[in-house]
Amino acid sequence: MLRPYRFERELDRSVAQWLAWLPRWEPGTLRRRSDVCTVCPRYADELGLTELPHGPLHALVTSIESLLIEHFLRNSAARFPELERDGEWKVWLDRGIVRITSSDGREVDELLDDSEADSPLDALLRGGVSPQKAAEARIELVRMYYMLFNSAVNRLASQRSLVLRAVDAYIEPKVRRMAEELVTEVCGA
Ligand SMILES: [Zn+2]
One pLDDT digit (tens) per residue for the chain, 189 residues: 556 689 999 999 999 999 999 999 988 755 555 557 989 999 998 998 988 889 999 999 999 999 999 999 999 999 999 999 888 899 999 989 999 999 889 999 888 877 665 566 666 666 788 899 999 999 999 999 999 999 999 999 999 999 999 999 999 999 888 888 888 888 875
> What type of residue is 163?
V
Q: What is the Å distance from ligand 1's center to 108 Cα?
A: 29
Angle at 35 between CA 105 and CA 56, to 5 degrees: 100
Angle between helix axes 4-21 and 54-79 (nearest 10 degrees) is 160
Cβ density class 52-75: b for 16+ within 10 Å, e for less? bbbbbbbbbbebbbebbeebbeeb
Q: What is the pLDDT of residue 92?
A: 95
Per-residue model confidence (pLDDT) at position 187: 83
Whole-prediction pTM value? 0.83
Distance 74 CA to ligand 1 centre (A): 24
**137 class by beta-carbon count within 10 Å (0-12 exposed, 13-18 middle, 19+ buried):** buried
Q: How far apart are the CA of 103 and the centre of ligand 1, in A?
A: 30
64 CA from centroid of ligand 1 (Å): 12
Contact predicate 107/117, CB 8 Å: no
Q: Convert 12-41 to b/e letters by CB count within 10 Å (16 or more is b).
A: eebbeebbeebeeeeeeeeeeebeebebbe
Q: According to the model, what pLDDT value does residue 33 have? A: 58
Distance 42 CA to ligand 1 centre (A): 10
**Residues that place a CB less than 5 A from ion ligand 1:** 37, 40, 58
What pLDDT shows up at residue 178?
A: 86
Centroid of ligand 1 to alpha carbon of 6 (angstroms): 25
If you measure from the C-alpha of residue 52 to the centroid of ligand 1, how many angstroms do you get, rounded to a whole number?
11
Distance, CA of 101 to CA of 113 (rounded, Å)? 14
What pLDDT does residue 35 have?
59
* 131 Cα: distance to centroid of ligand 1 (angstroms): 34
Cα-Cα-Cα-Cα dihedral sign, residues 135, 139, 144, 149: positive
Separation of CA 18 and ligand 1 centre (Å) = 15
Q: Are 7 and 150 in contact (CB under 8 A)?
A: no
**Ligand 1 centroid – CA 38 distance (Å):** 7
How close is the Cα of 78 to the center of ligand 1, in Å? 30
- Compute, in angstroms, the gap from residue 120 CA to the centroid of ligand 1: 47
Centre of ligand 1 to C-alpha 39, Å, is: 5
